[in-house]
Amino acid sequence: MNENIQTLKKWIDESDNVVFFGGAGVSTESGIPDFRSVDGLYNQKWKYPPETILSHSFFERNPEEYYRFHREKLVIDGVQPNRAHKRLAELEQEGKLRAVITQNIDGLHQAAGSKKVLELHGSILRAYCSRCRRPFPAEKMNHGTGLPRCRCGGIIRPDIVLYEEPLDQDIMSEAVHYIRSAEVLIIGGTSLNVYPAAGLINYYRGNKLALVNLSQTPYDSYADLVIHEKIGEVFSQI
Ligand code: OAD
């Protein structure tokens, strides 16, 4: 175990107030591509840029094309939590970790057993009618063909935050609360490029901020500890 991982382990061992804030890089070791790495979703060829497809106005204008992308790229069958998800769930059970705050929409933290998960960008495991708001089975939305419709005639949409849409303010406030009061904050698997989520880092007041990310982020110089390694490998050692 290298020195940085040892330090992170020590911080966690000595604390009962650890908070984790993560993104797509947490799930790459489960086989879900992230967005901005070379093999990420935003570097794959598609008729429209993915940031455009994942926007509110595009969904309204062209829901059929949205669903082609959604079913082909966002829904990945058979994925399982990896060592990072599992270790985070254990740390919560051990009374050390207070919350997981995630930008991911894949539900893998809950699948690993984490209870307190704040999903800033929603989940593709939930769906509802864009007209009457009635819940709809996500399985049918994710795996069906054609445009999923509610019995009221409205188009079904995933319960995710599309570009141009605001984040849920209650979830944001709770995330701010956990980060503001955290003793150890671990941020992992996120490029910290997308706001307002990335701005959450500014609420941390402590002196044990660890960044675990394969590539550099704009906040590396802000952190007390930076580990540029695979998060699953790091978490399997702590
Ligand atoms: P990004 O794709 O922007 O960043 C993922 C980061 O994880 C990159 O910096 C990678 O280097 C790193 N990474 C990849 N695999 C890793 C691993 N095994 N261990 C450690 N680090 C790894 O994804 P996010 O920051 O999550 O929003 O992107 C934020 C938001 O942008 C997403 O929630 C999504 C997207 O547009 C919406 O759809 C609203």
> Residue 81: which pLDDT band, with cuts at 50, 70 and 90?
very high
Least confident of 21-30, 38-47, 67-76, 135-144: 38-47
Separation of alpha carbons 14 and 5, rounded Å: 14
> Catalytic annotation on 228?
no
pLDDT tens digits for 127-166? Answer: 999 999 999 999 999 998 999 999 999 999 999 999 999 9
The best mutation among 38, 213, 229 to test binding of ligand 1, ranked by most ligand atoms within 8 Å of the C-beta, falls on 213
Whole-number Å distance, alpha carbon 7 to ligand 1 midpoint, is 24
Q: What is the pTM of this model?
A: 0.96
Q: Which domains does the chain have, with CATH numbers?
A: 1-31+82-121+167-238 (3.40.50.1220), 33-75+125-160 (3.30.1600.10)
> Residue 40: which pLDDT band, with cuts at 50, 70 and 90?
confident
The best mutation among 4, 32, 36 to test binding of ligand 1, ranked by most ligand atoms within 8 Å of the C-beta, falls on 36
The CA radius of gyration of the chain, in Å to the nearest whole number, is: 18
Residue 156 · residue 150 · CB < 8 Å: yes
Q: Which of 109, 121, 177, 228 is catalytic?
A: 121
> Which among 209, 173, 169 has a CA at the least distance from the CA of 192?
209
Ligand 1 binding residues, C-beta < 6 A: 23-25, 28-29, 34-37, 40, 54, 103, 121, 161, 163, 189-191, 193-194, 213-215, 230-232
